[in-house]
Amino acid sequence: MSRRFIGIDIDRSSVRVAIAGEEKGEIRLLAILHAPCDPPGEPDSALQELLGADKQLGDRMAAALPAGAAFVRRLTFPFAESRKIAAALPFELAARLPTSIDDFILAHQAPREDEGIFAVTAAAVDPAVIAPVLAPFDAAGLPLQTLDLAPFAQAAGLRSQIPEGILALLFEEEIIVALVEDGRVLDHRLLPVSTMPPEDKILSFVLKESEALQRGAGRSGLVLVPIGAGATPSLLDALSRQWEKVMIPPFFLDGAEVPPEFIPAVALALRAARGEKEGGINFRRGAFALKSEWGALKRGLIAAAILATLGLSLFIASAWLGYADRARQAESLRQEMTRAFRETFPGTPLLAEVPMQMQSKINELENRARLLGVGPQGSALTLLNEISLRTPADLRVDIREFTYTPETLRLDGSTTSFDAINRLAQSLGASPMFGTPQISDAKMSLDGSLVDFRLQLPLLAPKESP
């Protein structure tokens, strides 16, 4: 689901919530929720319980003020421009209302044309009524984008389900009977109550006002749609016996039909899905305009960016201090190595990095030491003596070249036969000073009297005595 639409129906004793989602262009009901107001008339804890832990960025929420909270008038204008209507609205309403509306919040529906005259339904609400309604939403951090007015909000939400008919909203604080057509309220009647009245009183009011609205509009056979907490099975049964057509909008959740008491919340969720594209009433304006979610998110991002910048600055400062300390240690070590080099090799100019030049001098000393017989392999004379002792006395061997390195000894020479070469290699291989001999080259001389050979002997370090 890319976005959720949430309708919130607040009564004196409870809060009912309907959550719908849009998937592939279709609105589908996802959940219906209910929580009591504790204490009655204060929905703060109920809103927090139902929606406080399930907020999602991009949610669109809608609620409705009670019909009795607003002054409603149906006006006509010779123009349809929204800007002109907004400018003329305060004067037109002031002339038709029994009280001053200088500080009131005004809202209106989109105009509807009839032979060049544009009809507009307008409403005015005292800010003192709006503030306590919005306070629980602000306290719970819930972005209520739409604050409409009953029964206009419910009629707009149920536009597809009730193209024409009579909508009866049976709430704890008021009973509303409205003549609706194409999602608009053409006329309505209101019965203010302090608590849910007895069913017989509700039945009498609904039937009487429904008949009056139907007759006044010159209609007959209109469908009656009773919804809300007062739409009990017994009341619906009584209405069905006395009104020709009674219908509950068919909404389903997990295969079960949604009860009538939740239909107003579902209607508000559908109203939220319509947004302001159809020009509905919305008192979220002026001092009560919703601060955008992006603004709150932007402030959070700025705070996070500031913290991240401070953290990065601390990291850079720490890294620089660490680098400076290591640089001082490295310079001190370099100076110490330079001093040690000059003391060890006096008179030697320092031409390169101290470690490299010191290693070069050490290698040079090791090579000289090997020539002098210092080291694990002994001197070249020692090795020659070992070869002489290990060469069988009956062999005639002529050594032409003796190559000595720290790891190997290479002999180039000639002897009388290939068998003599093998005997020489076996005899030298038995020495504790040499590893396994390798005959890398052996061939007959040009005159055919001798065999030239090359023999490589790995040098072994002498074993230490236990």
Summarize pLDDT for 1-25 with one digit per residue, the tens: 568 999 999 999 999 999 999 888 8
- Better-predicted residue by pLDDT, 223 or 143: 223
Which stretch of 251-260, 297-306, 350-359 has the lowest confidence by average pLDDT? 297-306
Tell whether omega for the bond before 151 is within 30 degrees of 0, i.e. cis. yes
The DSSP bridge partners found for residue 438 are 456
Most confident segment among 133-137, 164-168, 379-383: 164-168
Tell me how crowded residue 108 is: count the other CB atoms within 10 A of its CB.
Answer: 22
Q: Would you state the pLDDT for residue 353?
A: 73
Residue with tokens 């996070």: 304
Q: What is the DSSP letter of 198?
A: P
Tell me how crowded residue 288 is: count the other CB atoms within 10 A of its CB.
Answer: 17
The mean pLDDT of 103-114, rounded to a whole number, is 92
Q: Would you state the pLDDT for residue 131?
A: 94
d(C-alpha 16, C-alpha 263), whole Å: 10
Task: Let me know: does 258 contact 34? Beta carbons within 8 Å.
Answer: no
- 0.85 exceeded by pTM: no
Q: Would you state the pLDDT for residue 306?
A: 80
Q: Does the domain made of 380-458 have the CATH classification 3.30.1360.100? A: yes
Task: Let me know: does 144 contact 272? Beta carbons within 8 Å.
Answer: no
d(C-alpha 224, C-alpha 238), whole Å: 12
Residue 400: is it exposed, middle or buried by C-beta count within 10 angstroms (0-12/13-18/19+)?
exposed
The phi and psi torsions of 79 (rounded to 5 degrees) equal -140, 160
Q: Would you state the pLDDT for residue 84?
A: 92
* pLDDT above 80: residue 426: yes
Nearest to 118 by CA among 96, 99, 92: 92
d(C-alpha 99, C-alpha 359), whole Å: 102
Q: How far is CA 463 from CA 387, 407, 456, in A?
A: 19, 16, 21
Q: Domain 4-291: which topology?
A: Nucleotidyltransferase; domain 5 (3.30.420)
d(C-alpha 444, C-alpha 417), whole Å: 8
Which stretch of 151-165, 171-185, 267-281 has the lowest confidence by average pLDDT? 267-281
Task: Let me know: does 413 contact 399? Beta carbons within 8 Å.
Answer: yes
- Better-predicted residue by pLDDT, 364 or 464: 364
Task: Let me know: does 213 contact 156? Beta carbons within 8 Å.
Answer: no
Tell me how crowded residue 39 is: count the other CB atoms within 10 A of its CB.
Answer: 8
Joined together, the tokens standing for residue 108 give 């209106």
Instruction: Please report, as a single letter, which amino acid is at residue 17.
Output: V
Which stretch of 79-93, 239-253, 296-310 has the lowest confidence by average pLDDT? 296-310
Percent share of the chain, pLDDT over 70: 91
Residue 225: is it exposed, middle or buried by C-beta count within 10 angstroms (0-12/13-18/19+)?
buried
Residue with tokens 């490589």: 456
Q: Would you state the pLDDT for residue 161?
A: 93
Joined together, the tokens standing for residue 395 give 């062999």
Nearest to 249 by CA among 238, 235, 264, 237: 264
Nearest to 286 by CA among 78, 418, 124: 124
Task: Let me know: does 427 contact 390? Beta carbons within 8 Å.
Answer: yes
Q: Would you state the pLDDT for residue 211?
A: 96
d(C-alpha 413, C-alpha 401), whole Å: 7
* pLDDT above 90: residue 148: yes
